[in-house]
Amino acid sequence: MKTDIHPIYRNVTVTCACGASYDTRSTRGTYAVDICSACHPFFTGKSRILDKEGRVEKFKAKYGTRKK
């Protein structure tokens, strides 16, 4: 096997725009991200459906609960 061909795998700190920071390991240096699991709407449960044209109500009216 060849020696000295693998990249250096070191401890790094990933910092989010919201201020959260995570320690992990990577071949890159320390870097910053725009969004993380602490501030992403999907993971925090604060996501909402933006319906400007009434499409959700149209869908519910057309395909909503059917009677047996």
Q: pLDDT, tens digit, for every residue of 3-42?
A: 889 888 899 999 988 888 999 999 988 888 888 878 876 6
The whole-number pLDDT of residue 24 equals 92
Residue 68 lies in a domain: no
CA–CA separation, 59 vs 42, rounded Å?
Answer: 23
Domain CATH for 37: 4.10.80.400
54 inside domain: yes
Per-residue confidence (pLDDT) for residue 33, from 0 to 100 = 86
Residue 54: band (very low, low, confident or very high) from pLDDT cuts 50, 70, 90: confident
CA–CA separation, 12 and 18 (whole Å): 18
Its domain, for residue 56, covers 10-63
pLDDT for the residue 43: 66
Q: What's the pTM value of the predicted model, to 2 decimals? A: 0.52
Q: What is the pLDDT of residue 4?
A: 86
User: What total of structural domains would you count in the chain?
Assistant: 1
